Structure 1
Amino acid sequence: MSDLRRRALAGGKTVSRKARSKPESGLSSGNHTPNGSPGNSRAGSRANSRPGSRYASEDEYASESENDDIMTISTNSVSGEDDPGNTWAERLQDRVAELQDRKRSSVQGREATLGAYNHLLKHHFAQRQLDKSVAELMPILLRGIRNGSSDEERLRTLQAFTLTVLTCSPETIFEQALPILKAACQDADAENVKVEAIYALCIAVSYGGGSSTAAEETLDFFLEIIESDGQSVGAPDSGAVVTAALQAWAFVASHMEDLTVQSEAAIEAFIEQLDSSDPDVQTSAGVNIALLFEAAREYEEETGESFDMQYNQHRIMTRMAEIVRDSSKSVSKKGRRHLRSNFSSIVTSLERGKGPGYSTAGRAGPNPHTGGPRTDEQGEFREFGYRERIRIYNQFLLINTWSLHSRAELLKTLLGGGFGIHYLENPIVKDILGSADVEYIPNAKSRK
C-alpha cells in the first residue's frame, strides 16, 4: 500500500530550549539539529541491572534503570503539557522521519534519535501513530542492527526493534529478523549488545510471527548459550549474557503448551548454573527450575500422565540451602540478601507446589464464640499466601505463577517506567499478563 511508505512529518517549528532538553526531542541543548550529539544521558545497557524480584512485597511499577528514571522524571512520563504545540505524537513522527533519513545523519545523531524514539515508545502506547510507517521502519531497524557504526547505535537500534514489536506486533517480521538477531548475539563485541539481541530475539519469536517450531528452536539456541556459559555466542563466562539467556528462555517457555521435550536437557543446564559465581545467574537458574516443576504439575493435572523430571526436588532444595550458606564467603551483602530472598521463595514453591512469593506465615482465624483469635487447638491457621504483587495506579496484579513472574520481570526490564502505561493501554502487554488476578485499591487514584 502506498500510504505505508508515506514519510512522517518533518519538524519545521521553532523549538524552545526547554523542549530541546527533553529526552524524546532527540536534540541536545548544545545542538539544535537532529543529527547533533546525543544528550547528556545515554541509554545504557540493562545487562548489569539486577533482575527485580521483591518477594513478599508490593512491586510498584517503576524503572529499574537509573537513567530511565531521570528521563521519566524530566518529562513526567507524559511530556508535552508545557508545550501544547508539539505533542508527543508529533515528536515521535519527527524521530521516525529522522530514522528514515539515514543518509543525511551522523552516528551521534542516529544515537540521539534512537534514544528519543525509545523513550517515547516506552512511555506512550504508539501503535496508531506507527501503523503507517512500521512496514518501512522495521527493515531500517534491522539494517541498523546489522550495520550500526557504533556499539551504542546497535544497542539502541536493538532496543528500538524490541519496543516496536511490543507496540505493533508485526506478524511477518520474525523470519526476516532471525538471522540478523542471531548474528548480533554472536558477532557483537560489546556484552550489552549481545544482551539486547537476546531480548529482541525472544520478543520477536513470541510476538513477531514466530511459529511453535521456531519457538522450540529459539529455546534450543538460548539453552546452548546457558550450557556453554556464553561461549556459544563469543561471551565466555559472561554473567550478564547467561542471565539474559535464562530470562529469555523462561519468557518463551511460558508461552509453550508442552515442555516435556525441552525439560530434561533444560533442567540439567539450570541445575549446573546454580553453581555459578554470579548471583543473578543463580537466581535466574532457580526461577527456571521452579518454572519447569510448575509446568510438570500443570501437565499432570491436565493429562493425568506423569511428567518425569528426572531430578529429586529435595536434592535441589538442599543444594539451594547450601548455596545460600556458602555465599556468605564470596558474595556481597546485597547480593547475598537478594539470593536468599529468591531461593527462599523457590524452595517454598517446590515444597508446597505453589507459585512465587508464597508466604507460609499467617494468623489464626477468628474465634466465632469470643470474636478473638482461635487458639491452636480451636481451629484453622490462615497463611498469608501469595505476596508478590505489582501495583499499577489503582490496581494490583497478583503474580502467583512462575510463568507470570517470568513474563512480568522481562517486561519490566524492557519497558522500565512505562510498564504501567503499557499494561493499561497496550493489548499485547495486557495479553502477556492476561492470566494475572487483578485487585482494585479502594479510594486510590486511577490513571485518567
Structure 2
Amino acid sequence: MHDLRKRILLESGKTASRKARSRPESLQGSASHSPDSSPGHSRSGSRTASRAGSRYASEDEDLESEFDDSMTMSTNSASEDDENNRSAWAERLQDRVSQLLSSNSSDRKRMGISDRENILRAYLHLVRHYYANSELGGRFSDIVQALMKSARSGGSALEQSTALQALSVTILTCPSETVFETVMSPLKVVIDDAEDHGVKAHAIYALTVASLYGDGSIHAAEAILEYLIEIIESDGEIVNAFDSGPVVAAAMHGWGFIASHLADLSEQSEQAMDAFVDQLDSSDVDVQTGAGSNIALLFESAREYEEESGETLPLRYDPKKLIRQMKEISRGSKSISKKDRRHLRTDFSSIITSLELGKGPGYSTSGRPAVNPHLGGSNPDGEESEIQEFGYREKIRVHNVYITINSWALSAKVEVLKALLAGGFATHFSDNPVVHECLESAEIERIVNPNLLRKEFLAEKRRDASGSGRRVRS
C-alpha cells in the first residue's frame, strides 16, 4: 500500500482582489487586548453542534455558519488585480500567528474570551482560504501548542471549536511525522470531557486528520479506526455523549475518511459492519446516512479486494436484506422534518442503487437513446436503440473543472475535506499537494468557457486577417 502521507512538494499561494480586506481578520484591529473585552462580554455559546452536512452541497456552502467564507470564495474567483496580494495576506497571517502565540503566553490572562475567539477566527479564515505551508512551517510546533491550549481550556465552546478546526486545517497544510503523538492523548481528553457536543465532534475530526497527516503510518490509522468504532458501537456513551447525533455522525465520517485511505479493510470489516447496520435505525438522519455510506464503502472495498487478489472477502450481510431494510426506513421516515426526510431518502436511494449494481454513489440508470431520430439520427438495423445511462451524476465544481464522485472512498474524502476547509476547498485543491493527492483518483472534467472560445476564435481571425489586410468584425 502506498504511504498515507506525502511530503509537501511545492509551496504556492492564491491571490485575490482588494476585497480581501473585508475579512474576519479585520476584526483584530480593535479587538486584540481591548480593555472592554472580558468573559462577561463574550458569547457563551455557538452553533458548533451544527451537523457535518450532506455530501458536498455547493462549493460556497459553509458547514460552519459562524464564518462568512462565501465572500472570500467570490474574491478568490475574481480577476487577479494585485500582484503583491500574496505578501499582503502573508503579512496578515503572520500578525495573526503572533497574536495566537501571545494568547498562549503570559499575555493570555490579559485577553478576554472574545479576543481569543476573534484571533482564532481570523487565523482559521486565512489558513482555509490560502495555502500557507511556507508561512507556517517554521512555527508549526508553537502553533499546534497554542491551538491545543485553547482546545483544552478555552473559555467558550466557540473558542474550543474554532481552535480544533484550525488545528485540522493546520495539519492538512503542514503534514508532520510527529504531531499525532503530541495531540492524540489531549484530543481524546477533549472528546471525553467537553460539555459541548459540537466541541467533541470537532475534536474527533482533528484526531482523524492527525492520524493520517500527523503520523502517516497504517498503525496510527487503524488505532483511530478502532477508537471511532467504539464510539459508534456505544452510541457515544464511552465519550460521555450518549445518543448524541453530532458526535456519532462525526465518528461515522471520520471512520469513512480514514478507511478510504486504506487498501485492505478485511480486519476491520466485521466489527465495523455490525456497528453500521445497527446505526441504520438511529433517530439521527446524519448518523443513518453516515452508516449507510460506510456500509457501501465496505462493499466497495470488498469488490476491489476480490478484483485485485482473486479472493472473496465475506461481509456476512446479504445486500438484498440491507436494501429492504433501507427501503423500509425510507418509507417510515414521515415523523422527521421534510428536509431531513428528503436528505435520508436521497442518500439511501443512492446507497441502494450502489448495492444493487455494484456502483459508486449517485449512479443513475436513467438515460437517453444512443440514436435520436428526431435529430436526424437513425438505426440502420431497424432495432430498438440502445439506452445510454447517465451514470455518475454527483459532481462538485472547483474553478474550471468538475470532480465526478464515482466511488464511496472518494465521497468519504470529499465530505470531510469540504467540512474542514469550507469555502477554501477550491484553493487547497488547486494549491495544497496533500489535498490534491488525497483526491488524485478523481475523474476530472474541464469546463469549456464559450466566451473564452469566442475571444480565441476572434483573435485567430484577426491574426489571419492582418496578413491579408482585411478587417474582422467582432
8 Å CA contact 2:395, 2:403 repeated in 1: yes
Listed as ranges, the matches of 1:127-138 within 5 Å are: 127-138=133-144
Aligned position for 2:51: 49
Task: State the partner residue of 1:97.
Answer: 98
Q: Aligned partners of 1:347, 1:440: CA distance in 2, in Å?
A: 30
The answer as to whether partners of 1:271 and 1:289 remain within 8 angstroms in 2 is yes
The one-letter code matched in structure 2 to 1:110 is R
1:52 shift after superposition: 2.2
Runs (5+) with no aligned partner, structure 1: 1-17
5+ unaligned residues in a row in structure 2: which ranges? 1-18, 453-474
Counterpart Cα distance in 2 of 1:44 and 1:412: 20
Deviation sequence 1:38-93 (CA, Å, 0-9, x none) = 99999955532352237xxxx54223337366344278545998997981111110
Find the residue that maps to 1:431 and give its secondary structure. Answer: helix
Query: What is the Cα deviation at residue 217 of structure 1?
Result: 1.2
Change (3 A) 1:225 1:130: same
Return closer, same or farther for 1:203/1:21 CA change in 2, 3 Å cut-off.
same
Q: Given the superposition, is the C-alpha separation of residues 70 and 142 from structure 1 closer, same or farther in structure 2, using an over 3 Å criterion?
A: closer
How much does 1:146 deviate? 2.5
Deviation of residue 22 (structure 1)? Answer: 3.0
The aligned counterpart of 2:199 is 193
Q: 1:242-282, CA deviations, whole angstroms, 9 ceiling, x for partnerless residues?
A: 10000000000111111011101111110110101111111
Q: CA 1:386–1:74 in structure 2 vs 1: closer, same or farther (change >3 Å)?
A: closer
Aligned to 1:339: 344
Percent identity of equivalent pairs: 46
SS in 2 for 1:396: strand
1:159/1:85 CA distance change after superposition, 3 Å: closer
Give the drift of 1:364: 1.2
**Matching residue of 1:153:** 159
1:213 shift after superposition: 1.4
C-alpha separation in 1, matches of 2:72 and 2:208: 31
Letter in 2 for 1:53: R
Q: Does the residue aligned with 2:391 lie in a helix, a strand or coil?
A: strand
Counting matched residue pairs gives 423
Rounded Cα–Cα distance in structure 2 between residues aligned with 1:206 and 1:414: 14
Superposition RMSD in Å: 3.0
Residues 1:70 and 2:68 aligned together: yes
Out of 357, 368, 372, the position equivalent to 2:362 is: 357
Normalising to structure 2: TM-score of the pair?
A: 0.82
Q: Tell me if the contact between 1:396 and 1:438 (Cα under 8 Å) persists in the aligned partners.
A: yes
1:394 & 1:266 partners in 2: Cα distance? Answer: 38
The structure with the larger Rg is 2
Determine the C-alpha separation between the residues in 2 that align with 1:427 and 1:142.
Answer: 25
Relative to the length of structure 1, the TM-score reads 0.87
Equivalent residues in 2 for 1:264-413, closer than 5 Å = 264-328=270-334, 330-366=335-371, 371-372=376-377, 377-413=383-419
Q: Secondary structure at the match of 1:133?
A: helix
CA distance in 1, matches of 2:193, 2:352: 38
- Partner of 1:255 in structure 2? 261
Distance 1:270 1:425 in 2: 35
Give every structure 1 segment of 4 or more consecutive aligned residues whose post-TM-superposition deviation is greater than 6 Å.
Answer: 18-21, 38-43, 79-86, 367-370
Q: Structure 1: how far apart are the matches of 2:86 and 2:278? A: 57
2:50 partner amino acid: N
**Equivalent residue letter for 2:59:** Y
Q: Is 1:416 matched with 2:418?
A: no
The question of whether the paired residues in 1 share the 8 Å contact of 2:252 and 2:290 is answered with yes
DSSP 3-state at the match of 2:353:
helix
User: 2:469 aligns to what?
Assistant: none
Q: Does the 8 Å CA contact 1:346/1:356 hold for their aligned counterparts?
A: yes
